[in-house]
Amino acid sequence: MSDVRLGFPMPFASLRGVESIRPVTVFVMSLILLASLGACVATQPSHQSGLAWHGPAEAGPLASLEHLLVDARPVPRDRRVAVPPTPASTAELEPRQWKAVLVSGSRASSAYDAAAFDLGSRFRERGVARVATALSGGGGEFVASPAGIRHAMEWLGDGEGACLFFATGHGDVTGFRLDNARGDRTLTPGKLDRLLDRYCGDRPTVAIISGCAAGVFLDSRMRRPNRVLIAASAAGRDSYGARMDDRHVNFDRCLIGAIDAGASTWREAFERTLPCVREREVWLGVPFSEPPAYFGAAVADLAIPGTARFMAQMR
């Protein structure tokens, strides 16, 4: 995998004599533009088994995105998971009952730190008191490494309520990369599953992975009745970056926009994110990232923390 930094080698505005640029040069400049918008590049195909979603052979119209939503089918009960008594109880969680860990895994762009920081700030404003950020660029409460993430989850405690884990940066079909880690820098689906199992247990849990090939985190190990899983791209597909004037990469921009616009549940936020992501990809003329999601039976309509308070403030 190769890193692609956001930005151009030299500003277009500094070019003189644009009218004299040859067609070949224009073509090369176009390639640079597309490269600058790539959040990461997947270098190997995905042959993961047991995935909850498989991409369509051909991309459908914007109005037909229902195939990306994956609900839990009846499965033998996992003894490690105690299903909450009623799915409806998840809608009654107060913001103070949530804990959130927000991670930026890459130093390649400030857009990753910005997304983790901004989401953390939004949830604090909505009444979520237990929020921890681990930023690769520095400034967070914890280091963006496996040990730092573990310490963040320990620091937030194991009280009752719900868990949110958000990570944005680079990834491939092996997992999510943490630039600040020493030695093994990959957070794999198995490692994240163990972290969530230990620090969130059977409580309502939302895990959002934003990066290339993030769909690998929807594998059979991660799917539980108490979990919502959202990924920025299908396994083996790229997730695209930001324009020069964007604060966040494409998926993060759309997700945060959906939350800011008043999405009441995680399912609604995901549904609003899909057309936003695809609109930019259509404009770029790039292969669709096809973000997938999984909603466990016990949390199918899990509310975003603080939605009622946020909507009251908007009025």
Q: How far apart are the C-alpha atoms of 219 and 22, rounded to whole Å?
A: 48
Kindly state the average pLDDT of the residues 295-300: 96
Query: How does pLDDT run across 150-160, given as a tens digit for each residue?
Result: 999 888 887 67
Per-domain residue ranges of the chain = 62-314
pLDDT tens readout for residues 219-275: 999 999 999 999 999 999 999 987 778 899 999 999 999 999 999 999 999 999 999
DSSP string, 290-305: ---EEE-GGGTTPBPT
Of the pLDDT bands very low, low, confident and very high (cuts 50, 70, 90), residue 309 is low
pLDDT band at 22 (very low <50, low <70, confident <90, very high): low
Cα radius of gyration rounded to whole Å, the chain: 19
| pLDDT class of 91 with cuts at 50, 70, 90 | low
Higher pLDDT pick, 304 / 21: 304
The CATH code belonging to domain 62-314 is 3.40.50.1460
Using alpha carbons, list the distances in angstroms from residue 57 to 54, 166, 280, 311.
9, 29, 20, 40
Q: 107: which residues sit within 8 A by CB, 6+ positions away? A: 136, 137, 179, 180
User: Kind and range of the H or E element at 150?
Assistant: helix 146-156
Predicted confidence band at 79 (pLDDT cuts at 50, 70, 90)?
very low
Q: What is the pLDDT of residues 131-181, one digit of tens each?
A: 999 998 777 788 888 888 999 988 888 767 899 999 999 999 999 999 877
Averaged pLDDT of the chain = 76
